[in-house]
Amino acid sequence: MQNKKHFIIIGILILVVSVVTYYGILALNLLPVAAAVQSQPIDWLFDLEFKLISFFFAVIMVPLVYSLIFFRQKEGDDSDGPHVEGHTKLELVWTAIPLIIVIALGIIGAENLKQVLAVDPQAAQVKVVGYQWGWRFEYPEGFTSTKLYLPVDKQVLLKMESLDVIHSFWVPEFRIKQDLVPGQITEYRITPSLIGEYKVRCAEICGNEHAYMESPVVVVSQEDYVAWHDEQLRLAKEAELASAGKPDAGRGQALYVESGCKACHSVDGSKGVGPTWKALYMSSVPLADGTSVTADEAFLAESILNPSAKVVAGYNANAMPSFSYLKEGQVNDIIEYIKSLK
Ligand SMILES: [Cu+2]
């Protein structure tokens, strides 16, 4: 009778502590607002895990603390406790239950992943380029932005590549995280569901300025998206027209930073991932195949658009990605800038 009383009290306490712990976890507000269709299944799984965590916390802590208080050794009683042999039934139960839970979580997780990866064949595509230390977003219509604008309720497929080391694309409000791996194109599908301004941050330590590698991610209504999109197209045309005229070293310098050349090429003579640009123009550049070439306009342009055509001696053939998306005028601007680096 006495034993039964303890079990009932412990049972009730486990229930109470589970519920209190669960609502305590919720009150901590651990997850930021959910801003994508894909966040729903992930949050559902988080919720299930919070419940399991609360329950198991209670199952372990309640009997422990209860025993400490009510089954404490009496003062002066130093006799041995009862000798307990194995208990086959109990052992079977505590093996079977966790096994069932783990298998169930595996199945639930797979089902969940299927929902997160669901493909909408109508999805728009945007190319994401990550580099030390920034992001660039290339839209299929031919303009490039430093902010990722997305229309609400439309799935978009991000095709992601890195110019240097491994980075990781993470918008906490979207929940999903995906690595950018040099030499590989990785995919990230998202359907934003909440208008607002978020931030993509790099979630893979990638060097000195890793902590500052963030860009705005702006989810807007369909109308605002079209307006932004048209404005970007207009600006891109304008920039193209401007650089179609006389090449300009100032614009070239801006491109040096914005296009990410700066991550690999110095302008002060120091060696980086790639050769320095200081005094490069019209110098004799030794190539990997033993010959050498004069760094004239043609060589510079070819090196930008098709970097592996002639590989500079001492450097890796595939270390530089092609920048063939740059317009002819922009390439000329960069060359003008390289010329100015005496
Ligand atoms: Cu990074």
* pLDDT (mean) for 278-283: 92
Out of 4-18, 52-66, 253-267, pick the least confident.
253-267
- pLDDT surpasses 80 at 14: yes
Ligand 1 centroid – CA 205 distance (Å): 6
**How many whole angstroms from 259 Cα to the centroid of ligand 1?**
16
**Ligand 1 centre distance from Cα of residue 277 (Å):** 24
Q: 286-340 pLDDT, tens per residue?
A: 999 999 999 999 999 999 988 888 999 988 777 787 787 788 888 999 999 999 9
Cα(271) to centroid of ligand 1, in Å? 21
Helix segments in 28-87, DSSP class H: 39-70
**53 phi and psi, to 5 degrees?**
-60, -45
Contact 210, 53 (CB under 8 A): no
C-alpha of residue 263 to centroid of ligand 1, in Å:
12
Cα 201 to ligand 1 centre (Å): 8
Q: pLDDT-based confidence at 61, cuts 50/70/90? A: very high
- Which fold is adopted by the domain 245-340? Cytochrome Bc1 Complex; Chain D, domain 2 (1.10.760)
Cβ neighbours around 309 below 10 Å, total:
10
pLDDT of residue 48 exceeding 90, the answer is yes
Distance 184 CA to ligand 1 centre (A): 15
pLDDT-derived band of residue 63, with 50, 70 and 90 as boundaries?
very high
Going from the Cα of 219 to the center of ligand 1, the distance in angstroms, rounded, reads 22
CATH superfamily of the domain spanning 124-224: Cupredoxins -  blue copper proteins (2.60.40.420)
Q: How much distance in Å is there from the Cα of 177 to the middle of ligand 1?
A: 13
Rounded to an integer, what distance in angstroms lies between the CA atom of residue 133 and that of residue 110? 34
pLDDT tens string 192-241: 999 999 999 999 998 888 998 999 999 999 999 999 998 888 888 887 77
Average pLDDT, the chain: 90
- From the CA of 149, how far away is ligand 1's center (Å)? 20
Going from the Cα of 134 to the center of ligand 1, the distance in angstroms, rounded, reads 7
How many whole angstroms from 129 Cα to the centroid of ligand 1?
Answer: 11
What pLDDT is stored for residue 264 in this prediction? 85
57 pLDDT tier (thresholds 50, 70, 90): very high
- Residue 82 CA: distances (Å) to CA of 5, 67, 79, 89, 181: 20, 15, 9, 19, 60
Residue environment code for 122-147, b if the CB has 16+ CB neighbours within 10 A, otherwise e? eeeebbbbbbbbbbbbbbeeebbbee
Is pLDDT above 90 for 179?
yes
pLDDT of residue 82: 83
Q: What is the pTM of this model?
A: 0.68
316 Cα: distance to centroid of ligand 1 (angstroms)? 21
